[in-house]
A and B are shown apart, each in its own frame.
Chain A
Amino acid sequence: MNHILRIKNLIVEYAVREGSLRVVNNVSLDVPEGKITALVGESGCGKSSLLDGILRTLPPNGYIRSNGVWFKDINLARLSNEELRRIRWERIAVVFQAAQNSLNPVLKIGDHVLETYHAHRKGESKDEILAKARELLEMVNLDPKQVLNSYPYELSGGMKQRVIIALSLILDPELLILDEPTSALDTYTQSTIIDMLKKIHREKGLTMFLVTHDLPVVAEMADYVAVMYAGKIMEVADVETIFYKAKYPYTNLLIKAIPSLIGDPSDRKPIPGSPPSLLNPPSGCVFHPRCPFRRPICDKKAPPFFHVDKSLVACWLYGDTK
């Protein structure tokens, strides 16, 4: 299988008053080309920070280290700012969390389209660019005539979300990264956006990397799933395995915690305990304080990855026996 994105030992830290907060802890992850890969995990486990580590879009107090972030044969970690700028949106488009606030309040949607285009390409006329934008807006069920001439405040949250998704396709990127594309929207809008994304994936064969804490969305869209906990990736597998034969105890608890996806809603069990502090993470396996299958080794040594069936899992349940 071809991997469009290969992240090697990525570390993201924030400088805070108390010291440094390691929110992405030595993460390695490969994103297969042409598929939809989902990154799931509780809020605050470092998903957005991981994305920020890819295209270096961290806030000023954020710091990155890695052994390389490879996009095809380009090491993004080594690029100059200008080289990176050319890749952003042209080849990798990232739709951030709270995309409703991603638009400049004093620019019309049409201006957003044009400035984005002109930042990367020259040559095409305004009409050609706008014609393409119209096509994309129609694809996300918006009325292009109205939308292109509107300011962001004149659109609803769901419309803005769809505008950004349309805008993300304007340069035909090779990889589309979406951070919580459905949060903060009503359920109806959520499902139309998911349908839309599926349609885009189907029609364009576009590789997507989808971040969410919403498992039903994952079940509906993803081919592969990576499970993140307290700054670490703990399990990676195809979507079937994750939902039916997950190896990592946390994954199973996470799936049980969602209502009405599979089985009886009364089966739903919240995960006991609370996520650990990233400032003083637990020793050994970060999940051990909450893990029902804890063993003596778990609080001493962090587990490496083990191949178990179709899963890649970092858990001593599958390793210390040998």
Chain B
Amino acid sequence: MQGELGHEGVLVNLYYSFFRPIIKYRRAAIGFVILSGFVLMATVGPEVVPLNLKTDFSQRYKPPSFQHPLGTDYGGRDIFQQIVHGSRDVLTIAALAAMYAITIAVTIGILSGLLGGIVDAILTGLTDIFLTIPSFPVMMAIAAVFEVRDPFSFAAILAIWMWAGLARSIRAEVLSLKQKEFIEAARILGLGTSHIVFREILPNIMPYIVINFITMIRSAITASVGIMFLGIVPFKITHWGVMLYMAMFQYGAVYVPEGIYYALAPLFCIVLLEYGAISLAHGLDEIFNPRLKTYE
């Protein structure tokens, strides 16, 4: 019957399964609104806000005004424009990294849990190693050596160091699902592995994956902006991490009172964006895994 649903049906379904719980849980709602705002900024923003990177030193470090809502930078360029245009790269890199990492994690977690034996032993060992190695320094080193400049390879470098934790929990989840009857039944019925993976296991761990997607976006933002903040990947000048690098280490914006807007604007956006992601992830967690609260 599900396949028969028209457009309305899908919308109604989406409403009941996604929007209604989000409205009900304040935390998720806050996160959702914040993230939606940034997604809007990243998608529509650059189309409607022009970007003028011509330097005009007479306009250096102007405070916010009608003309420059967030003031201007060292070169007299509008900060708001940079923030809007930078948001696209920040979010693209983070979303790509999260997607890659989820793919790796799901593959390794399911393979490891489902196949067991020597494959499991090797993959578990590998996961442990990846969990032990501190991700940020490795990401830095690899990004530096390969002199990455495009979002795709940068996201890949991040993803390689982000999947391990999720893979481990997916493996555990698969192991416990394996004990459940419906998987047993599918086995006995001789339904193939692909059926078991795509019809039984994936739908069961989907909520988990969605939540992790959001938390990973958040970690990817921290990592990517952090690396750029250190000036290791000289990306576009509008990228928030590069803006911070400039403010901190190049233009000396942190030393002069007028430079405050240039330093604070990207900082504020990053904190707000991460706060949104964390809230949405926590909220979704509350929705999908309601704690059994017997009292209070």
Q: A residues near B, CB below 8 A?
A: 14-17, 61
Besides the known contacts A16-B295, A61-B295, 9 further A-B residue pairs in the complex with CB atoms under 8 A apart: A14-B295, A15-B295, A15-B296, A16-B294, A17-B293, A17-B294, A17-B295, A17-B296, A61-B296
Q: 9 A–B contact pairs at CB < 8 A?
A: A14-B295, A15-B295, A15-B296, A16-B294, A17-B293, A17-B294, A17-B296, A61-B295, A61-B296
| A15→B295 CA distance, assembly (Å) | 6
Interface 0/1 of B285-296, CB less than 8 Å to A? 000000001111
Complex interface: chain A residues within 8 A of B293 (CB): 17
Task: State the total of A-B contacts with C-beta under 8 angstroms.
Answer: 11
Shortest Cβ distance from residue B294 to the other chain A in the assembled complex, whole angstroms = 7
Complex interface: chain B residues within 8 A of A61 (CB): 295-296
Complex interface: chain A residues within 8 A of B296 (CB): 15, 17, 61
Nearest-CB residue, chain B, relative to A21 = B295
Shortest Cβ distance from residue A107 to the other chain B in the assembled complex, whole angstroms = 29
Tell which of B293, B294, B295, B296 has the most Cβ of chain A within 10 Å. B295
Interface residues of B in 267-296 (CB under 8 A from A): 293-296
Complex interface: chain B residues within 8 A of A17 (CB): 293-296
Nearest-CB residue, chain B, relative to A62 = B295
Complex interface: chain B residues within 8 A of A15 (CB): 295-296
Number of interface residues of B (CB under 8 A): 4
Shortest Cβ distance from residue B287 to the other chain A in the assembled complex, whole angstroms = 17
| A257→B167 CA distance, assembly (Å) | 53
Nearest-CB residue, chain A, relative to B295 = A61
Nearest-CB residue, chain B, relative to A61 = B295
Nearest-CB residue, chain B, relative to A14 = B295
| A14→B295 CA distance, assembly (Å) | 8
Complex interface: chain A residues within 8 A of B294 (CB): 16-17
| A304→B295 CA distance, assembly (Å) | 33
| A61→B296 CA distance, assembly (Å) | 7
| A175→B35 CA distance, assembly (Å) | 63
Shortest Cβ distance from residue A21 to the other chain B in the assembled complex, whole angstroms = 9
Shortest Cβ distance from residue B202 to the other chain A in the assembled complex, whole angstroms = 33
Complex interface: chain B residues within 8 A of A16 (CB): 294-295
Shortest Cβ distance from residue A62 to the other chain B in the assembled complex, whole angstroms = 9
| A61→B295 CA distance, assembly (Å) | 7
Complex interface: chain A residues within 8 A of B295 (CB): 14-17, 61
| A70→B295 CA distance, assembly (Å) | 30
Nearest-CB residue, chain B, relative to A15 = B295
Nearest-CB residue, chain A, relative to B296 = A61
Complex interface: chain B residues within 8 A of A14 (CB): 295
| A61→B294 CA distance, assembly (Å) | 10
Nearest-CB residue, chain A, relative to B293 = A17
Shortest Cβ distance from residue B278 to the other chain A in the assembled complex, whole angstroms = 27
Interface residues of B in 192-238 (CB under 8 A from A): none
Shortest Cβ distance from residue B65 to the other chain A in the assembled complex, whole angstroms = 53
Shortest Cβ distance from residue A14 to the other chain B in the assembled complex, whole angstroms = 7
Shortest Cβ distance from residue A60 to the other chain B in the assembled complex, whole angstroms = 8
| A138→B288 CA distance, assembly (Å) | 54
| A58→B110 CA distance, assembly (Å) | 45
Shortest Cβ distance from residue B106 to the other chain A in the assembled complex, whole angstroms = 36
Shortest Cβ distance from residue B136 to the other chain A in the assembled complex, whole angstroms = 36
Shortest Cβ distance from residue B296 to the other chain A in the assembled complex, whole angstroms = 7
7 cross-chain pairs, A with B, having the tightest CB-CB distances, nearest first:
A61-B295, A16-B295, A15-B295, A14-B295, A16-B294, A61-B296, A17-B295
| A168→B293 CA distance, assembly (Å) | 34
| A17→B295 CA distance, assembly (Å) | 6
| A206→B63 CA distance, assembly (Å) | 84
Shortest Cβ distance from residue B292 to the other chain A in the assembled complex, whole angstroms = 11
